[in-house]
């Protein structure tokens, strides 16, 4: 049983709900629970898409600084692996994921959002990587995922200064994909994820894997990753169903089984 995270599945959409009042600080226990939750939704055949949500007031305000303050270099050498493992596990979910951001997504909270495929934020939300003010840098993927998302120069400015980013600017620079009124963030996230329920799950998984892996290699290697994934889908029932339906009935009418 998880103490601070719950997983609820409804109509094909799983919600990973973080609940550690008052600010959803990401201590070592929460990090471990994120790994367990990510693995659970990854293998659940009833889950087509995933929402990561911190509740109506706050997404996650960062790591547990009180816990980290007493740690030595030796302690952190061990702990830092887990710090990255939990966002790696979230990023590795082979299904579409969205962070539904209310209140603050700072430090580790911002890194959780960065590990999702999409980010929907409240129009009064605040994001940022303020670790520099503690004499450290982001350690759960922020230096890498932020740079890939908004570009290296802008990522350096945000990380070097540690400044907070308001929702409108976050949308303008591509840090989030959509804004919504604070009381509608979760509903908008569900609407976005509902597009993938009943879709060709193996094709979506292949597309996500090809894009993510392709970002880490040169173009020619990325094209080979795409070619192999594309070819493999010709062994699936969904490919046959999709093409048969297209030929017989036109586009957009196929029924997929996820196999």
Catalytic residues, by residue number, are: 111, 131
DSSP character string of 14-80: EEEEE--TTTT-B-HHHHHHHHHHHHHHHH-TT-SEEEEE--SS-SB--B-HHHHHT--HHHHHHHH
Residue 13, CA distances (Å) to 47, 88, 97, 199 in order: 6, 21, 10, 12
Half-sphere exposure of 48 (CA within 13 A, CB side): 21
Which helix (H) or strand (E) is 104 found in, with range? Answer: strand 104-106
Are 59 and 19 in contact by the 8 Å Cβ rule? The answer is no
């Amino acid at each position: 049983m998880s103490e601070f995270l719950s997983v609820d599945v409804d109509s094909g959409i799983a919600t990973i709900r973080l609940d550690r009042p008052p600010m959803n600080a990401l201590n070592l226990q929460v990090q471990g629970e994120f790994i367990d939750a990510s693995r659970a939704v990854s293998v659940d055949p009833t889950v087509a898409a995933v929402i990561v949500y911190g509740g109506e007031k706050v997404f996650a305000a960062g790591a547990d600084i009180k816990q980290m303050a007493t740690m030595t270099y030796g302690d952190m050498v061990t702990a830092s692996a887990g710090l990255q493992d939990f966002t790696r596990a979230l990023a590795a979910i082979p299904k579409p994921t969205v962070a539904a951001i209310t209140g603050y997504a700072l430090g580790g909270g911002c890194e959780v959002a960065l590990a999702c495929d999409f980010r929907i934020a409240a129009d009064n939300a605040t994001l940022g990587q303020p670790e520099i003010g503690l004499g450290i840098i982001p350690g759960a993927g922020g230096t890498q995922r932020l740079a890939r998302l908004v570009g290296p120069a802008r990522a350096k400015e945000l990380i070097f200064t540690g400044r907070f980013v308001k929702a409108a600017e976050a949308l303008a620079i591509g840090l989030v994909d959509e804004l919504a009124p604070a009381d509608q963030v979760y509903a908008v996230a569900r609407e976005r994820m509902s597009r993938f329920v009943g879709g060709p799950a193996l094709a979506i998984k292949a597309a996500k894997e090809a894009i993510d892996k392709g970002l880490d290699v040169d173009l020619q290697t990325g094209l080979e990753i795409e070619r192999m994934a594309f070819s493999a889908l010709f062994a699936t029932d969904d490919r046959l169903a999709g093409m048969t339906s297209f030929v017989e009935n036109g586009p957009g009418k196929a029924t997929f089984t996820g196999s």
